[in-house]
Amino acid sequence: MALAVRAPRFQPRPASVSAPAASSSSSLAAAAANARPRAGAAVRTAAAAASPFTEATSSSRYRRDAWSYAADGSSKPAPPSSSDAAAARRDDEIALQLPELRRLLDALRASRGRGAEGEGGAGGLGRVALVGTGPGDPELLTLKAVRVIEAADLVLYDRLVSNDVLDLVGEGARLLYVGKTAGYHSRTQEEIHELLLSFAEAGANVVRLKGGDPLVFGRGGEEMDFLQQQGIRVEVIPGITSASGIAAELGIPLTHRGVATSVRFLTGHSRNGGTDPLYVAGNAADPDTTLVVYMGLSTLPSLAPKLMKHGLPPDTPAVAVERGTTPQQRMVFSLLKDLVDEVKSADLVSPTLIIIGKVVALSPFWVESSEHDALKIENSYASEAR
């Protein structure tokens, strides 16, 4: 059907000196008015806008992370405890990979006996908070998440944590990027576990920032389980998962009386990588169920036919949403049978969420897309008649 670019309700703060300016509401509205433009002009314009997320090209990310690559520092290293061989091995790994991180760890350990009584002081263990940051709009953060972020000593954050959220981290805190993208992990999951443990044992208040919700395709359960087994107190602060945040932004009810009786979240990633999605059971293709596919761009060409093979009607409404709830949001509405071609034509990029189900047709943007396509066909017939 059609691609649309929409300015969400959130308007970003003024950009920092080195950050690219965000698209204005007027330009986004103009792009929306010209959905599915000639030769994809508006598609390219929107795609070129600065990403709100911490991709590898983010100047904000590197500015905030610069400390971890510093060659000098004033903290005097403290020898690891000889009674804890596992901790010593972790220290060696940290020292080899991030010398400045090791200095921070040593400084925290040296101050344990001088801090205030209670958590993080007087030799006590620190804590780890697994915090969900939602789909991108910082105004969707919970008040509890903001308080924890502002009080952190060390923040480990993922690729899909928006730069606006990172701006909330206190000036005295350290940030460390541990993001993952398809085919590349800056840190293995095991390394992330050990980093969380090392700093919690040193008495730090550690915050693990994750896009969306930590316990929805965020591997938060693995981190929580590992830390709790080591005696570390873990707090989980939920975030608005992308399915809820983006569906609300588009006016799509995930369930609706008489239309959809259930909703199912699917991962578009294959456990072993590649382009073949995880097995889709027959009940995932239930016409009365809304399907929400996370991280499904690369596997969509395999997933869509599989859903139709299991019985989902080819004319089921669907939408793919890139960078939902941010000023760079783009939407492709289509019937399921055409979704792969439409997404490819629009050249959507990660992160993109896919919603499939009859409820998609309840969105006001579905009506606009349908009217646009009908007008386009009518104009085509009129031109041929002339």
The helix/strand/coil state of 234 is: strand
Alpha-carbon gap, residue 192 to 186, rounded angstroms: 10
Sign of CA dihedral 275, 183, 155, 84: positive
Q: Which of 95, 93, 98, 100 is nearest to 73 (CA)?
A: 100
Structure tokens at 272: 């072993």
Return the bridge partners of 233, or none. 127
Instruction: Examine the residue annotation and report whether 1 is marked as an active-site residue of this protein.
Output: no
Quick check: is 210 catalytic? Answer: no
| Choice among 137, 210, 224, 295 that is catalytic | 295
State how far the Cα of 40 lies from the Cα of 34, in Å rounded to an integer.
Answer: 10
CA distance 271 to 293: 15
| Pick from 286, 309, 22: nearest CA to 162 | 22
Residue 334: name the closest of 302, 383, 300, 381 by CA: 300
Given the residues 91, 106, 153, 158, select the one marked as catalytic: 158
The reply to whether 295 belongs to the active site is yes
Cβ atoms 184, 350 nearer than 8 A? no
Q: Which structure tokens are listed for 184? A: 């590349």
Catalytic site positions: 158, 180, 295
